[in-house]
Chains A and B, each alone.
Chain A
Amino acid sequence: MSLLRQNLTLEVAAVATVFILGAFTPAAWTEETRTYDFKLPDLEGKEVSLQQLLAQGPVLVNFWATWCKPCQKELPHLDEIAREFAGKGLSVVAVSVDNPRSVSKVKSYVKAQNYSFITVLDTNGEAKRAFKAFSQPYTVMLKQDGTKAFSNIGYKPGDEKLIREKILALLATLPAPAETAE
């Protein structure tokens, strides 16, 4: 058996195992304790710190690009989520991974669409590498401690409903905000 075939056999066996186990692995087993952070400029050049946003509550981070067709389909749904949960403890951040070739088009696209979420520019791919967002769109829900609550690869119609359900479930675990005295 050639070296390549040995490797391939190992790979196929491993992939098949994970493929099967993936369907039955309890969600709790996949919980992460790794934390994430970035500081990136927004469309006006002002620095946005993920840690500062996390201090206010969970953050939904979406990696996208102007040339990415599925991203263009998903962004309107993220905008709906951002508007629905505004003031309810959730921040929505769209991280544009447009490189120097296309970064000049980001502001035009976002402003024309009147999106309400925070848009930041990851022009040199720093956050993309940290999150392993090798393909777009890639959506990550971060808990307030900076660890990952869930993630979603790609976009298929219906994903936005699952994301919304998971956001509601996550927000339900947070302590109720203190009532303001009259």
Chain B
Amino acid sequence: MRAAGALALSLLAGFAAGTLLPPRAAAFDLGALNAGGSNQTEYSVATEDGHEILEEWLDLELTAGDLAAGLRYEAFQPPQKDDPLGDPVREGVAFRYVEVGRDWGSLRAGNYYALFGRGLSLNLFEDRDVRIDNNLDGVLFQGASGPLEWTMLSGRARVTSSERWPADDSGLERLDLLHGGDLALRPVSRLRLGVSAVRSRFPLAGGEVRRDLVSGRAEVSAGPLSFYGEHGTLDGIAGARDGEGTYLSVNAAMKGVGFTAEYKNYDRFSLTTLDGRINLNNPPALSKEQSYTLLNRDPHFLVVNDERGYQVELTAVPRHGATVTLNRSRNERHNGLVWYEEYFLEARQDFDGERGLSTASIIADYRGVEEGKFHSSFIGDVTWILDDVYSLRVEAGHQHTENTAIGSFDTELVVIELNQSPALVLGASIEWNNKSDAQRGDEDAVYAMGTVSRTLLGDADLTLAFGSRQAGYYCVGGRCRYEPAFKGFESKFLVRF
């Protein structure tokens, strides 16, 4: 019952604080004391077998002058979406900290996130949409003085709530201890230099497993041109050859044209906890970040131990309101196997009128992946303004798939959204394909989903969905999580207070 009680309390506290109390009480304004937070609840139930999933995050923060404190309560039932055990609840305070900040910097004890450079040596972050959270629990010290900036940290990766599903989870504590430091120097305004060092230690009976990652970087900005370069080395385990990682980025940008070119070479460069479950470094992946459903059917997953490649992107604005984006990326293993490559073209026109066509986009995308899958996709995306409040968006997509394992097929997807500014979206999507019975297997022939999204008071968001959707990846900013095919009801409620 603890989960039920805590969940109810968190929901009611969040709702009350954000919407129901008078302003002085709503913000907990007690002189210099400020409080805030958010509550996110996601629930789904499958119509076929009644399988229910409830996920809950409650964040609370307090600040008083130079002091700050916060915590996050999490509850998952079941703890993992594909958990065979079904019912157990795993809940608790998964993130908490106290922090003092002054002119000299800030010192935090507890859980924290951190980023060194572009993440070649350390990248600790939370992306709740794709269920990634690799925070550390320990001490973080950050500061700056003149042209110098520094970060020093020490801590352990947490055992996530979703990992605590065995009945006896007493042996789950993660023993890896991480120490890290980053120093950045800006000798002149357009040049920034940095060095990072990270040491991972895992105690064993006869000693410890130790891994050291050291990297250096330089960042230059000169008018329309900018450059970023970083190189790092990672000690091999048990005498194995050291790993290396290199990332380069060149940028040229001026009115009407922008160009970005990136190169990577990651060889045995993945730094994880010893159990391999928590990534501690997350360097740039160099693939196009997609938001359309069809373009995320076979997304790129970075393999930091064996990948090299490049990405180039051109953005052109040939005339007012028109934008053309061209992207090309190629990723290969060190044995020369090209395992993921993509060509992407988008042409978008924004119109100025008060009524009628508002935006029209055409997207063409081709990608090939290692498993012998090739996708050619075409998407049209159009928005009409109906009046001052209402607008209509229609997205139509076609994807042709060549799959050496199961043969070729075509997929169609249509999305229609009626928007009422500023608070309501009514949406419907339908997807179908021409797979043969043998290709389809247990899959449905048609998937259809209806959604309602309502904003409340500007700071709360409720989304309800009912229907079915095809299995695929849900991606945000290039990070993805697999979602199995689903038929049923889903809700998501987020309130900030």
Complex Cα distance, B268 from A87, in Å, reads 53
Residues 94-116 of chain A, each 1 if its beta carbon lies under 8 Å from chain B, else 0: 00011111111101111111100
Complex Cα distance, B118 from A76, in Å, reads 28
Of A3, A7, A124, the most chain B CB neighbours within 10 A belong to A7
Neighbour of B313 across the interface among A103, A108, A135, A162, CB < 8 A: A108
Complex Cα distance, B119 from A158, in Å, reads 38
Q: Do A14 and B257 have beta carbons less than 8 Å apart?
A: no
Complex Cα distance, B327 from A105, in Å, reads 11
Complex Cα distance, B114 from A125, in Å, reads 9
Q: Do B477 and A99 have beta carbons less than 8 Å apart?
A: yes
Complex Cα distance, B189 from A113, in Å, reads 25
Of B192, B259, B289, B462, the most chain A CB neighbours within 10 A belong to B289
Neighbour of B260 across the interface among A101, A105, A135, A162, CB < 8 A: A105
Known: A29-B23, A99-B477. A108 touches B77 (CB 8 A): no
Write the chain B residue with the least CB distance to A104: B249
Complex Cα distance, B113 from A124, in Å, reads 8
A-chain residues with CB within 8 Å of residue B1 when the two chains form the complex: 3
Write the chain B residue with the least CB distance to A163: B422
Known: A73-B383, A132-B59, A151-B458. A67 touches B11 (CB 8 A): no
Neighbour of A29 across the interface among B21, B224, B315, CB < 8 A: B21
Total CB contacts across the A-B interface at under 8 A: 251
Q: Do A73 and B123 have beta carbons less than 8 Å apart?
A: no
List residues 2-42 of chain A with CB under 8 A from any CB of chain B.
Answer: 2-4, 6-8, 10-11, 14-15, 17-19, 21-22, 25, 28-35
Q: Does chain B have a CB within 8 A of A54?
A: no
A-chain residues with CB within 8 Å of residue B290 when the two chains form the complex: 67
Q: Does chain A have a CB within 8 A of B496?
A: yes
Interface of chain B: mostly helix, strand, loop or mixed: strand
A-chain residues with CB within 8 Å of residue B23 when the two chains form the complex: 28-33
Neighbour of B315 across the interface among A109, A129, A159, CB < 8 A: A109
Q: Do B455 and A154 have beta carbons less than 8 Å apart?
A: yes
Complex Cα distance, B422 from A104, in Å, reads 31
Residues 55-75 of chain A, each 1 if its beta carbon lies under 8 Å from chain B, else 0: 000000000011111001100
Q: Do A158 and B391 have beta carbons less than 8 Å apart?
A: yes
B-chain residues with CB within 8 Å of residue A69 when the two chains form the complex: 291-292, 381
Q: Do A103 and B11 have beta carbons less than 8 Å apart?
A: no
Q: Least Cβ distance of B194 to chain A in Å? A: 12
B-chain residues with CB within 8 Å of residue A175 when the two chains form the complex: none
Q: Does chain A have a CB within 8 A of B69?
A: no
A-chain residues with CB within 8 Å of residue B125 when the two chains form the complex: 99, 124-125
Q: Do B251 and A104 have beta carbons less than 8 Å apart?
A: yes
Complex Cα distance, B422 from A158, in Å, reads 7
B-chain residues with CB within 8 Å of residue A134 when the two chains form the complex: 38, 40, 128-129, 494
Q: Least Cβ distance of A113 to chain B in Å? A: 6
Q: Does chain B have a CB within 8 A of A86?
A: no
Complex Cα distance, B19 from A28, in Å, reads 10
Complex Cα distance, B26 from A43, in Å, reads 37
Write the chain B residue with the least CB distance to A101: B478
Q: Do A7 and B3 have beta carbons less than 8 Å apart?
A: yes
Q: Do A107 and B458 have beta carbons less than 8 Å apart?
A: no
Q: Does chain B have a CB within 8 A of A88?
A: no
- B interface residues with partner A (beta carbon < 8 Å): 1, 3-4, 7-8, 11-12, 15, 18-24, 26-27, 29, 34-38, 40-41, 43, 52, 54, 59, 77, 87, 89, 113-115, 118-119, 123, 125-126, 128-129, 186, 189-190, 192, 219, 221, 224, 226, 228, 249, 251-260, 262, 282-285, 289-292, 313, 315-317, 321, 323, 348, 350, 358-359, 381, 383, 385, 388-391, 419-422, 425, 453-462, 477-479, 491, 493-496
Instruction: List 10 tightest A-B contacts by C-beta distance, closest first.
Output: A108-B258, A158-B421, A111-B253, A112-B258, A124-B115, A67-B289, A22-B456, A156-B419, A33-B27, A33-B29
What are 9 A-B interface contacts by the 8 Å CB criterion? A15-B491, A22-B457, A99-B125, A100-B283, A102-B477, A108-B251, A111-B254, A113-B315, A134-B494
Question: 18 other contacts beyond A17-B15, A69-B381, A158-B419, with CB at 8 A cut-off?
Answer: A7-B77, A10-B4, A15-B491, A21-B20, A22-B457, A22-B460, A44-B189, A72-B348, A97-B477, A98-B477, A104-B284, A108-B259, A114-B256, A153-B455, A156-B420, A156-B422, A161-B388, A162-B422
